[in-house]
Amino acid sequence: MPAVTARVLGRRHQPIRIWNSREHFFTELALFLLGAAGTYSVSIVGQLPGNEILLFPLLPVILLVHGRRAFNREYLWFYVLVSCWLFGTIVGDLYLGSPLANSIKGTARVVFFAMNFMALAILINNNTRRMIIFQLSIFVQMFFIMRFFRGDFLTQWKFGGSSIVTITALLISSHYYSRRRYWVCFFIVLGVAGLNLIFAFRSQIATDFVSAALILPIFAKAQTSGGRTSPFRNLVKVALLLALAGGAAFLANLTIKFAAERGLFDDSLTAKFTSQAGGKLGVLVGGRPETLVAIQAIRDSPIIGHGSFAVDPKYLKLKQDIAYENGYSDTDEPEDVAVDAIPTHSHLTMAWVESGIFGGIFWIYVLVLTFRGIVMVSFSRPPLAPLYSYLLLNFVWNVLYSPFGSVNRMWAAFFILMSYKVLKPQVPQATAARQGKARLPVYPRRPVGARVGFVG
């Protein structure tokens, strides 16, 4: 007799819904459009990306509807410190007599950054699915960025291609990671690192190696039922994580050297790598010579800074002198540039050089927050650990060695929210269910036939 499945008569089959409600659909659509709109920009004093233009009509509406989400208690220090950064920018520009256009751009940069954070905090609302949706919206921007470099595949790979492939691969990797099939994750990361090696994207090779090392299953999964471990044991774990990260970075550097010696790269890339690695201060300073110049500019004016978009040709001369004296350049003549802006090429040093100590303190706080997020991901190993580890580590690199402007403001706000999310205590589903049942009100049983009404 064939087996059959019993079904209650009169009950229709319920289709699987992608969205629970129309409100969820429009919220996630708005979130995706907000990210994708960064593809275009408008010149208003400076370049204003499309996603920040959308904030003008969007932010007031969502603040009225769900404004409390943007001002959770956990975000308090973010708002305090970003307000101090804004205060330092305004006071510094007034004290130094910065040009009005520069002062407006410097102030707007901080204000829009805070607005970006508010909008994303409301729309994402600590929801993992929405974080993935926003990350996918960034893909749209990267595809358009790649179009600017058509005909130069290596540059396309560096500015967008690598991130698209890596994040897609890590989303797939997270599926296997959540099922403890760690060897599959290992080969996926190894494949991505191999592509970055072939296409000469050195910093991403190191990021791939280190982010994978940080989520190795070497610790027992963190208990979320209230159990605590001793501070000493946590310090030992952090020390071990730092040792793993250092070992992975060293392995990545050896891999790049081996590939260069075996002729994997063309002559121009090999000469560039050799020049940067052959200096007295190592490959990192060779690749980011602005770092030492920015540090000197901070030492020259650590409290008040140099003003928004500060211009001073002596720092360009200093940059070239450092490169020449330490073996990174054959000449001490500075490059010809349109504007003699103080070189920074970093979220942290830019804020400190232009806005003074308050700008520096804000980004130091963000670095500490992000490091804590990386450590938490390493200890608790959530299902999306491969993706979180890579993105947060990449954000640390951006804070230290990438410029802060245009769509980077929105992306930085997103990664800060991601750090808050992974640091937020997770309640086990069983515990949440018990707590939910405990909160349900108990009403007296109503006699049969009694009318149902509303209590005034």
Give the pLDDT confidence of 211-239 residue by residue, as tens digits.
Answer: 988 888 876 664 444 445 567 677 877 88
Give CA separation, 296 vs 162, 305, 314, 319, in Å.
Answer: 33, 12, 11, 10
Helix (H, G, I), strand (E, B) or coil at 49: strand
DSSP 328: S
Element housing 121 (H / E): helix 100-124
Task: Calculate what percentage of the chain has a pLDDT beyond 90.
Answer: 48
Contact 167, 152 (CB under 8 A): no
Query: What pLDDT sits at residue 9?
Result: 53
- 310-366 pLDDT, tens per residue? 999 999 888 888 877 777 776 767 777 767 889 998 999 999 999 999 999 999 999
Query: What pLDDT sits at residue 1?
Result: 47
Q: Which of 17-26, 96-105, 251-260 has the highest mean pLDDT?
A: 96-105
How far apart CA 280 and CA 275 sit, in angstroms, is: 11
How far apart CA 306 and CA 293 sit, in angstroms, is: 13
How far apart CA 233 and CA 236 sit, in angstroms, is: 5
How far apart CA 144 and CA 108 sit, in angstroms, is: 25
How far apart CA 102 and CA 49 sit, in angstroms, is: 18
| Residue 398: pLDDT band with limits 50, 70, 90 | very high
Residue corresponding to tokens 């509406």: 61
Ranges of each domain in the chain: 22-422
Contact 21, 120 (CB under 8 A): no
What sign does the dihedral 280-285-286-289 (CA atoms) show? negative
How many of the other CB atoms lie within 10 Å of CB of 383? 13
The yes-or-no verdict on residue 433 having pLDDT over 50 is no
- 183-209 pLDDT, tens per residue? 999 899 989 999 998 888 888 988 999
44 — phi, psi (to 5°)? -130, 100
Q: Where are the alpha helices (DSSP H) in 148-230?
A: 153-156, 162-177, 182-198, 202-214
What number is the average pLDDT over the span 290-318?
Answer: 92
Of the ranges 1-5, 233-237, 322-326, 395-399, which one carries the lowest mean pLDDT score? 1-5
- Residues near 81 by Cβ (< 8 Å), separated by ≥ 6? 358, 361, 362, 365
What does the block give as tokens for 65? 């509807």
